[in-house]
Structure 1
């Protein structure tokens, strides 16, 4: 039985950390179907960083393979989460693992666990999820030179999602880079909504980079052309919730757009079953898990052309890609709304893409190969 450590800043039942949590959960689910596995997740007990809510600590969760360390959110950002308990006690947990998989960012938990792996001389795999990019400023440059680059260069493997992330990571390390895309479980076909509306879904943290305000603008334009349009905004506050609510009220869209707040896995599936279109206006998304979830649920995907898997989406003809602030975007989406044949083509192509290249089993097999190569050489 392989003993695998998994380290990341936040883990279920917390949802506001976004993609890395979903990816880590997907990895564990697929690996446990492939091989006997004894996982140990190492993370903070922060439940909602923006509101500084914490998960009560108990031994039940640790028995289920998750070790939540008592932590403190010094700021309302993930970079402000620290844990003295993890710093003092986690080294012994690291020593029990054969390999540690670190979902990495410039944050206390992943950086400390990486340093503990180096201290214990344990092999570790780093996955950056597009979160390690060069930043301006003296502090960032010093941190990268003294901490981030040495960790990445000494990792057994550094996993990247696609070519753009590999290019960025080559400024930190070279010989240990390995491609691993995200994957998703293909569940049963979601039921088709019966309502006469055209339903649109925003599913992301309400952070400025996710551009929920642009989503609202697009919905306004669509609704003015077709009053059957309805929308839901689903996700925790990342700074833009107040502005989103204000914009919805100012545009008179209270009966058109519903703001639903954060959602757990079951609720996400319910929202995807409700929607017709998954609309992702955010910029420079590395490899959005929500797009894969929409494909798996046979929903039409509309995304900004800056998404870093655009070549894959174009190659498979799997999504409508719109320009960043192009006023023609509303007209493009309207054309797709009323083109039943084209919608069916995109749905089938997206589902086939997941089935052929991005199923959780395929990704799990690739990851298991990485672990075995790291452990056995």
Structure 2
């Protein structure tokens, strides 16, 4: 790996450096690894939450700098955050996620230092997201988001589709398009797996779990599930969303099991046992859980809103649609698929993970992007550390 970032301190700013951040948290963990691989030093800075200390080991050997939130948690106002950023002596700051106070803090840091400031919205400018909580987002736009978007050196899009969302919302057509990087592949599946389908993500309306439960229930009622078929749902979320989901689950067949939050070795084990991962989402950025599944040799049932058309093109994924009927048909087809066909899909999934979404390949692109931004700022006489 190149040493393009040798001696450079890259700040990774996010609202949550813990499991509460969901896929954004996982993406930041991988981003820190990629910065280290390029010779740089990642500096993780986040709002303090209930799991920040518990999950800090995920960034080792880097430490996590957390800032206490005052007032409404959904806004995330942290009065000490700007000074914490300034004291960190960063060469570049990369914000992951928007719609909270870190956007304001990042823009203030950028103006005070003149150093590069990048923003990764992580799908948070998707029309499904922007249509929810309109008045809150209108206040955020007026209060700090538009200023943050204007101040940024560049906005980062995970896909060309997200670049269009950024252009529509932020008025900027100069997005840097780099996908998420997946984990290293595990051993290639040599024998077919049991009929286990896995959902692992946040429990949230956009994940579209109600039609999934109904579709599985239809197959169970019709006796159309193969012997031993199990749908495992692993997830976490706001108490209200989890309570609503559990109320629906109470009416579901026994072949659906809810195991709650699932991380680390337990998550790896579930992925390694899954015949398919399913994600019938209404909105996504570029879901890390699908990249993790592909690396583990699990093909996916997903919607086009997962923004991974490469999976369909390569034969690593099938479109499950968003309705009870389309999800039911996709599950029926997947669970009766010949073993040889499934092994081909599993191989295609791991090929995608090892090539298109490999961490070394994506890390090299990020190293070049960070280095170019830091160099450009230094040449204007405003950027770069003088340590």
Name the TM-score, length of structure 2 as normaliser: 0.84
Alignment of 1:271-282 (within 5 A): 271-282=270-281
Residues 303 and 322 in structure 1, CA contact (< 8 A), matched pair in contact too:
yes
Residues 215 and 279 in structure 1, CA contact (< 8 A), matched pair in contact too:
no
- Give the aligned partner of residue 248 of structure 1: 249
- Give the aligned partner of residue 98 of structure 1: 91
Count of aligned positions: 358
Q: Secondary structure at the match of 2:258?
A: strand
Distance 1:73 1:318, change over 3 A: farther
Which one of the candidate residues 61, 64, 67 is aligned to 2:65? 67
Question: What is the CA distance between 1:112 and its match in structure 2?
Answer: 1.5
- Give the aligned partner of residue 30 of structure 2: 26
Distance 1:128 1:322, change over 3 A: same
Residues 103 and 110 in structure 1, CA contact (< 8 A), matched pair in contact too:
no
- Give the aligned partner of residue 205 of structure 1: 202
Distance 1:367 1:328, change over 3 A: closer
Which whole-Å deviations, capped at 9, do the CAs of 1:186-222 have from their partners, x for residues lacking one?
2322767998x51111101111111222222232233
Instruction: Determine the C-alpha separation between the residues in 1 that align with 2:258 and 2:188.
Output: 22
Question: What is the CA distance between 1:248 and its match in structure 2?
Answer: 2.2
Residues 193 and 276 in structure 1, CA contact (< 8 A), matched pair in contact too:
no
- Give the aligned partner of residue 82 of structure 1: 77
Instruction: Determine the C-alpha separation between the residues in 2 that align with 1:168 and 1:301.
Output: 25
Which whole-Å deviations, capped at 9, do the CAs of 1:84-117 have from their partners, x for residues lacking one?
2324543322xx1111111131111243123222
Instruction: Determine the C-alpha separation between the residues in 1 that align with 2:87 and 2:343.
Output: 53
- Give the aligned partner of residue 218 of structure 2: 221
Instruction: Determine the C-alpha separation between the residues in 1 that align with 2:55 and 2:259.
Output: 28
Residues 91 and 374 in structure 2, CA contact (< 8 A), matched pair in contact too:
yes
- Give the aligned partner of residue 334 of structure 2: 336
Unmatched runs of 5 consecutive residues or more in structure 2: 1-6, 377-387
Query: Greater RCO between the two (CA within 8 Å, min separation 6)?
Result: 2
Which whole-Å deviations, capped at 9, do the CAs of 1:287-340 have from their partners, x for residues lacking one?
11111111000002001233322x322322220102211514323322222222
Q: Secondary structure at the match of 2:21?
A: coil
Residues 197 and 277 in structure 2, CA contact (< 8 A), matched pair in contact too:
yes
Q: Secondary structure at the match of 2:259?
A: strand
Residues 4 and 99 in structure 1, CA contact (< 8 A), matched pair in contact too:
yes
Q: Secondary structure at the match of 1:283?
A: coil
Q: Secondary structure at the match of 1:324?
A: coil
Instruction: Determine the C-alpha separation between the residues in 1 that align with 2:275 and 2:220.
Output: 15
Distance 1:334 1:139, change over 3 A: closer
- Give the aligned partner of residue 120 of structure 2: 127
- Give the aligned partner of residue 257 of structure 1: 256
Question: What is the CA distance between 1:262 and its match in structure 2?
Answer: 1.4
Residues 208 and 322 in structure 2, CA contact (< 8 A), matched pair in contact too:
no
Which one of the candidate residues 12, 18, 22 is aligned to 1:6? 12
Residues 125 and 156 in structure 1, CA contact (< 8 A), matched pair in contact too:
yes
Instruction: Determine the C-alpha separation between the residues in 1 that align with 2:75 and 2:190.
Output: 42
Instruction: Determine the C-alpha separation between the residues in 1 that align with 2:26 and 2:219.
Output: 31
- Give the aligned partner of residue 4 of structure 2: none
Instruction: Determine the C-alpha separation between the residues in 2 that align with 1:275 and 1:317.
Output: 17
Unmatched runs of 5 consecutive residues or more in structure 1: 49-53
Name the TM-score, length of structure 1 as normaliser: 0.86
Alignment of 1:1-377 (within 5 A): 1-11=7-17, 14-33=18-37, 35-47=38-50, 55=53, 64-72=62-70, 74-75=72-73, 79-93=74-88, 96-133=89-126, 135=130, 137=134, 140-141=137-138, 143-145=140-142, 147-171=144-168, 172-174=170-172, 176-189=174-187, 197-224=194-221, 225-226=224-225, 227-238=227-238, 239-251=240-252, 253=253, 255-309=254-308, 311-325=309-323, 327-339=325-337, 340-377=339-376
Q: Secondary structure at the match of 2:352?
A: helix
Moved more, 117-126 or 144-153: 144-153
Distance 1:338 1:63, change over 3 A: closer
Instruction: Determine the C-alpha separation between the residues in 1 that align with 2:336 and 2:61.
Output: 52
Instruction: Determine the C-alpha separation between the residues in 1 that align with 2:126 and 2:329.
Output: 34
Distance 1:72 1:218, change over 3 A: farther
